[in-house]
Structure 1
């Protein structure tokens, strides 16, 4: 782990590269696209992929249904194993609680919304017929 902090190139690392190294995204291109798409915020504002994160920075990262608030602990531009990548950041307790609550709500909501799958051809015709009657 001491290697991570002593690399000369890691004094200044791009945000997209750090997010990739911290394993938030599978590729650097996906990290860059997420940043440009407004999924990563620093101090409540959108960032650029070239932003240089600093130790202690608080980032909000949206990915799918989840929104994580993390604090940068270490800088690294090298992607390593997941246990080592998790040392690069710390997720805030509020963020963990919010994510767990949202996951529980999604799970509870999914249980009440069971379907038989895709509608059959006959059911699709009935749906189209019903819609046409509603419009006219």
Structure 2
């Protein structure tokens, strides 16, 4: 088996993990990819990965980002950043579906719109479990 075939070569057969993550557009910058590796958010074939590790075709990468874990299998080596359609062809995505967002998000107000109106205040109170009559929320036991 040659050195390039087992991942120790410096040719097109293997590339640094942080460079590939950036090139395949899984990370916005190479330094972000390095920081993710340093923080333990990237695993290669089940083991924690360092940014300088060489990856080869067939490696499974697990990349954690806020609220999501991506599981990808490398199908092609990239050394330079490419467009999104080409980058998508360089890995197989085995990630689970992301968790659905909460159906009832709390009401949002734009910054600088002033004080809430009476109607908005009532909506906030209902959301927090307070009633305009001052009654306790239904999940609290009645006061003796």
Q: State the TM bucket, normalised to the shorter chain.
A: 0.5 to 0.7
1:1-136 alignment, distance < 5 Å:
9-92=11-94, 95-97=95-97, 99=98, 102=99, 104=100, 106-108=101-103, 111=104, 113-115=105-107
Counting matched residue pairs gives 102
Higher RCO, Cα 8 Å, sep 6+: 1
Q: For 2:83 and 2:108, how far apart are their aligned partners in 1?
A: 41
- Measured against aligned partners, the alpha-carbon deviations of 1:25-78 in whole angstroms (never above 9, x if no partner) come to 111111100111111012322101011111111111111211011111100111
TM-score by length of 1: 0.67
> Which deviates further from its counterpart, 24-33 or 13-22?
24-33
> Mind listing any 5+ residue stretches in structure 2 that lack a counterpart?
1-9, 116-144
> Mind listing any 5+ residue stretches in structure 1 that lack a counterpart?
1-7, 121-136
TM-score by length of 2: 0.63
Over 3 Å counting, the alpha-carbon distance change for 1:116 and 1:51 in structure 2 is closer
More helix by share: 1
Q: For 1:59 and 1:90, how far apart are their aligned partners in 2?
A: 10
Runs (4 or more) in structure 1 with deviation over 3 Å come to 115-118
